[in-house]
Amino acid sequence: MDNRFSIRKFFPQETFRWKKVLQYFLQGILIIGPLTITIYAMYWIVTTVDAWLPIFRTPVKDVNGNIIRYEVKNYGLGFLIIIGSIITIGYLSSFFIQTRIFNLFDRWLEKTPGIKFIYTSTRDFFEAFAGNKKKFNKAVLANAFAEDVWIVGFLTDEEMEKFDMGADKVAVYVPQAYNFAGQLYILPRDKVRKIEQISSGEAMKYAVTGGVVDLDDDDTKKQG
């Protein structure tokens, strides 16, 4: 066979070693693992949201022909309807008349015993990330625990007089890696340094991934 057309010329000539087989196996896991988890996560999200709107249901029967449950088979239609409804609500809330209606509903929930705490806490949490009152948009390096120890956080409050701590103290929220939790620190203003080279979104990504994300591959510079 003519070696000019042999596929072997595209691969390095290596002697067989079990150590190399293990290395290739681990490399394959590194490639397939994140892709598989991402695909499964998307599938889980779509099927879970689909189940909220059982538009098309198929009965599941036992051996005697009795219906024991229904299997939802929307194939993404329910997911699209819910996403579209959320976008529509956001669109309607931008108008004056509709905004008054939403504000009335908002005030009613704020005054309802029991529901008030859950609703206001959840609302403020989401607004801190994406609303008009977005709080996690000031990424900082905070000097805490020791003189040479710095942690990535977000400046959330620059006025600590409410706690009788004076104007020289600020509140810094520090997210935990691979977790939805975090910790709030009240620190002297001179121990907080604003992050200028990357955006707040990239700083959050860096913090919650434990610093393993490669920011050099992303557009980390702030725009405008």
Indicate the pLDDT class of residue 194, thresholds 50, 70 and 90: very high
**Rounded to 5 degrees, what are φ and ψ at 192?**
-120, 125
Closest CA to 166 of 187, 138, 145: 187
Position 222 scores a pLDDT of 45
Burial letters 158-196, b for 16+ CB under 10 A, else e: eebeeeeeeeebbbbbbbeeeeeeeeebebeeebbeebe
Average pLDDT over residues 197-209: 85
Position 89 scores a pLDDT of 74
Position 141 scores a pLDDT of 94
Alpha-carbon span 222 to 224, nearest angstrom: 7
110 token code pair: 């704020």
- Does this model's pTM top 0.85? My answer is no
Alpha-carbon span 195 to 27, nearest angstrom: 35
Least confident of 4-18, 113-127, 193-207: 4-18
Question: For residues 126 and 132, is the Cβ–Cβ distance under 8 A?
Answer: no
* Domain residue spans of the chain: 16-92, 103-134, 139-215
Above 80 in pLDDT, residue 199? yes
Indicate the pLDDT class of residue 223, thresholds 50, 70 and 90: very low
Q: What percent of the chain has pLDDT over 90?
A: 11
121 token code pair: 């806490």
